[in-house]
Structure 1
Amino acid sequence: MSAPERPRFAPRWLELRERADAAARAPELLRPLLAWLEAQPAPEGPPGGPRGLVIRDLGCGIGSMGRWLGVRLPGPQQWVLHDLDPALLALAGARMPVTAADGTPVTATTARGDLAALTADDLAGTSLVTASALLDLLTHDEVEDLAEACMGAGSPALLALSVAGRVELTPADPFDAEIADAFNDHQRRTDQGRALLGPDAIAAAVAAFERRGATVLVQSSPWRLGCAESALTAEWLRGWVGAAHAQRPELAPEAVAYLRRRLEECAAGELTVAVYHTDLLALPRQRTGSVG
C-alpha cells in the first residue's frame, strides 16, 4: 500500500521531548515482552556467534526508542531504523547505544522508506517491531496493514506514546476544554485524503491486532511536565493551541489570549501539565511455551 509522505519533525522538537518520552514510556510492558522473546527458538546467527534480536524501529526520528530500549533488553541486537527523513536517520544511526543490558553488542543500520509499504515478507526474521508517537498519525487501513504485517511475520509490536486525547493543566482555565476539543478534532482531520485516527488509534490498533490472534496489552504513558520541563511545555503549548486554532479559526482571538496566559504561567513556574499517551504491546500467538 502506498501513502503520502508523513509529517517530518524538526530534530529540535524530537530532542526536546526525548527526556519526557523516556520518563513516560511504560516499563511494565517489558516483562511480558521479554517472556515472549525468551520462549521463542534462538535465532540462527552467523558463524562464530549468535545473531541475536532483529528490531525494526518504524518512524524512528532521532532514535529515542532505540536509546531507551536497547539498553533494557539483554543479548545482541541488530536495529533497523526506518524513517522518511535522511537527516533524522543520520542522527538516529549515529546515536544508538553500542551495548545491550548485559554488555553484548548493539548494531544499527538505517532504511529510508514509508512504513505503509512494509509487508509480512519485509518483516520476516524480525524479532520485534517498535514505533513511538506514530499510531495516531495513521489511518484505519494503515493500522490494519501494520497489524497484518506484524502478525503475519510473527513479530511482536511495541507501539509507544500514542496520543490519548486527554490533557490536564494546573491551574485549570475555562478555555482548556475548548482548546482540547479542537485539538482532538485536528488530530482526526483528513489530510491529503487520509482520515487520521488521532486519539482513536489505540482502540483501532487493539481491535486490529486482536482480530489476528494477538495478545494485546496497553499501559498509560503520560508526560508529566513541571518547572524542569518548561521549555518543552512552552513548545508543546504553542503546537497544541496552534493546531486547535488551525482546526477552528473562529477560536481567535480567544486562543491567542489563552496561549499568552499559559505561556506566562509556564515562564513563572506556575503551570504543570499532564499529556496522556498510551503504550501498546501486541504479542503473536506463542510458537512455544507461554507468556509469563
Structure 2
Amino acid sequence: MPPSADALFSDQWLTLREPADHRARDAQLTHAADRWLSRRATPVRALEIQRTLVDLGCGSGSNLRYLAPRLHGAQHWRLIDHDAELLAHARLRCEPLVSADGQPIHLETRELSLVDAWKHGLQGADLVTASALFDLLTTADADALAETCHINNCAVLFALSVDGHIRFHDASGAPLFSDDDQFMLAALEAHQRRDKGSGSAMGTQAPRHLRESLHRRGYHVREATSPWRLGPESLPLAEALLAGWRSALDEQLPQQSRRIERWHTQRLEGLMREQLTLTVGHRDLFATPPESDGVGAPA
C-alpha cells in the first residue's frame, strides 16, 4: 500500500516499486509462459507469428517492461487501465522494447475499467497478465476473470499478489514478530479486505482464490513465492510502504493512534539505521487452459 489511497496507482509510486517488483518475480514461471506461447503457435515459423498479450491494470507499463524482453517472438500487447495518463506513460516508456530474440513489440492501449476489461478486452488473447492487482478485487471479480479467460482459451500469468506474509528481520536475519507487529499486521490485513466499492476485497486471500477458481475450470496451475526483500538499498520504498501502512491503520483503528505511531516510528528508525530489513510476501501464478493438451502444464 502506497502513502495514500489516492496514490495507489500514481506514476511516482509505481516507479518507486518497479525495481523491487522485478527482483522479486519468479523467473521460472516467466520461462514456462515463454515455452507455452512458443508451443501454442504453429510449428512452422512459430516465432514469427504474433502473440496477443493483455496486461490488466497495466499502470505505467512495469509488467510489460519485465516480460516483453524475456518472451520470444513477435508480440502484440493490449494495455488496459482506467487511467489515461498512466496509459500514455506506458506507451511512451515501452515503445522502444523488443522481444528476447529482437522482434518488434506492438502496443495497443484501451482505457477501460477492469470489469469492462474482461467483458470486452480479452478477445483473441493468448496470455493475460497482471501484476500487483488482485488484492483490490472481489471474489466475484476473480471468478468472472477466470471464466472469461477460460472462454477465450488463454493462459494467465499473474505476478506479485500479496499473501500476507510480512516480517521485519534483525541484523542477523532473524525474523521479529512482537505483539505490536502481530497486532498491526492483523489490522492491516483486515483493512485490505474492506469494501473498495463493489464488495469486500480479497486482500491476502487473492492467491488462494485465484488458484481455486482456475482449478475449477480445468486449468493447470503453477505457483511460486515472489517476496520483496527490502534492505538499505530499498529505503525509499520501505519508507513509503510504512507511511501507507500507518495511514491504513489510522483508518482501521483510530482509537489506537498512539500505539500505531509508536510502532511506525520504531520500525522506521530500525530500517533507517540499517538495524532491520523487511520482507513483504507475494505469490506469482502461471496457469494454462485445459484445451492446451498439456502444453505448458506442470510436470
Unaligned runs of 5+ in 1: 1-5
Which has the larger displacement, 214-223 or 112-121?
A: 112-121
- The partner residue of 2:265 within 260, 267, 280 is 260
1:81 aligns with 2:86: no
How far the C-alpha of 1:261 sits from its partner, in A, is 1.8
Alignment of 1:78-227 (within 5 A): 78-96=76-94, 97-119=96-118, 122-171=121-170, 172=176, 173-227=178-232
Unaligned runs of 5+ in 2: 1-5, 171-175
What CA distance in whole angstroms lies between the structure 1 residues aligned with 2:129 and 2:118? 15
- After superposition, the C-alpha distances for 1:183-225 in whole angstroms (9 at most, x for unaligned) are 0001111233421010111111111111111011111000000
- Alignment-derived partner of residue 24 in structure 1: 24
Greater helix share, structure number: 2
What CA distance in whole angstroms lies between the structure 1 residues aligned with 2:144 and 2:192? 20
- After superposition, the C-alpha distances for 1:5-44 in whole angstroms (9 at most, x for unaligned) are x985211111000000000011111232223222223399
Q: For the Cα contact (< 8 Å) 1:62–1:89, is it kept in 2? A: yes
Q: For the Cα contact (< 8 Å) 1:224–1:272, is it kept in 2? A: yes
| Counterpart AA for 2:91 | G
SS in 1 for 2:70: coil
Percent of aligned pairs sharing the same letter? 36
Distance 1:66 1:44, change over 3 A: farther
Which has the larger displacement, 137-146 or 28-37?
A: 28-37
The alignment's C-alpha RMSD in Å is 2.2
Q: For the Cα contact (< 8 Å) 1:121–1:153, is it kept in 2? A: no
Alignment of 1:48-59 (within 5 A): 50-59=48-57
| Counterpart AA for 1:159 | F
Alignment of 1:229-248 (within 5 A): 229-248=234-253
Distance 1:107 1:268, change over 3 A: same
TM-score, normalised to structure 1, is 0.91
| Counterpart AA for 1:68 | Y
Q: For the Cα contact (< 8 Å) 2:41–2:49, is it kept in 1? A: no
- Alignment-derived partner of residue 62 in structure 2: 64
